[in-house]
Structure 1
């Protein structure tokens, strides 16, 4: 068995979940400005697409994003090994295997959360991926699928994969229901059981465990650090991105910056992308929650939503939106 390299513990404390249609390169560059110490993840990309598809589009990454992980979907060890090697060659710092997505598409392809029922297939895939690349190979999983609520099934799944050389697990601390719930409902309806992630760390202290699922604010995120290596934020990081900045300063130190200061630091990147022909709407869609709950926040969102798709839209639109937020003081 070849053991996957460990990830420095401080890089695991804060991370942003892989989110389909959201965590593209534009989003990750923005999140990096907010949280210099966070570990970032790509959207899930199927291994077959990495091997046969448009890599320049699928694996797009800005040098400022590091450390950033590529999340792969798939269930064929040889194909996943090829995709892992390619991902590492493109500069990703980690390759993560998705064993948690419950959508109909992944069920039809027999990957994602379905793999919770095939621990040996996952182990074979992980072993092949570790052998194919020199960066850490990690797994993101659920606690189980459907009505499987047996601790021994969950820990048996983990132990089988550990036997293949993996030592880092992101645990979305709820089951995936493969029938009867949409992917959105699967993120909300099955009950959260953080205690299973905590127990995994207690009983397997050599493993690196990151907890994911339902983390909504700084206090919740901070509480997890007493039990596991890290907290991975998903929707909260996307819809209220200033939370990432607040957590980064709280956990790693540094000066708390205003939302406007952070946004203006994004301008050079935005203008480079506009010069390359990228439409402003593809970038500003990730900014809409920056002033959530703040004076002028609704106007900020409205200006960007209504104007970014228009021909010729540029940074001037962002400045116009910012003006609407600067008329009243903001909470930190």
Structure 2
């Protein structure tokens, strides 16, 4: 395709992403912390723009490119930010708890979503987002299982809003149940939706609580690698009826290029071939590209397509947050 044909849609996606970043900065300045990340704001702002203004047909190729190819690149670069050093720092027993909580949450949230009438792709997006690392997990899983724009938008927007409620409510657990700070920090790291929200939930109890909660959360993030590889194997099972591979009853190996790149970069980071400074730079680039991709996804979503699924998604997300809290609390009691 002629790159010039991509320019209008790409520029529009970048402008929406920049506006979302500015809104995120304003939010942080006003409230002291970003309750909604620029990535979430980008998809919401994109939806507003896409529904308020009739976009020219010339913008569609660039919007599709930003929503697909730019997102693939962002997911690949995300691998450079993952390292097993966080796992080693936690110790084997606590990491085993994290693995069990993540696996249980993935399966149970997926089943909850299906029981409430959600399609398999949307149910898996919500499960991955809540069990592992919020928006990054949803963005990474979406292209593997062939999720539609509307499904990604609903999963990110509504699950993030439930995540904000969790951040506000969770600190009261310390006072209501008399937990000590280490337990609360672990509970926060096991429960909260995204890394910035983990920091926000732990912040009232000091830097030690923030450090431990973040470490637990980053260990959940490490599970993104195995999940993407598993879903790549099972991708045909998420296909729609009538599409190639749907209903075949067999899992076929399908490894997109960005998952291979993700795994290689994660391995390079773990072995030290990618330094901490370079990993931070690549992580920043990944986040910026993800924001552009989410803006593009939002631009292609119509409110009418979300109206039917929104209540089910919100209920699934709320139940998922409650389930994560229960699983984490039970794990601490068992220990």
Q: TM-score higher than 0.5 here?
A: no
Give the structure with the larger strand fraction. Answer: 1
Q: What TM-score, normalized by structure 2, do the two folds share?
A: 0.26
Give the structure with the larger helix fraction. Answer: 2
Q: What TM-score, normalized by structure 1, do the two folds share?
A: 0.26
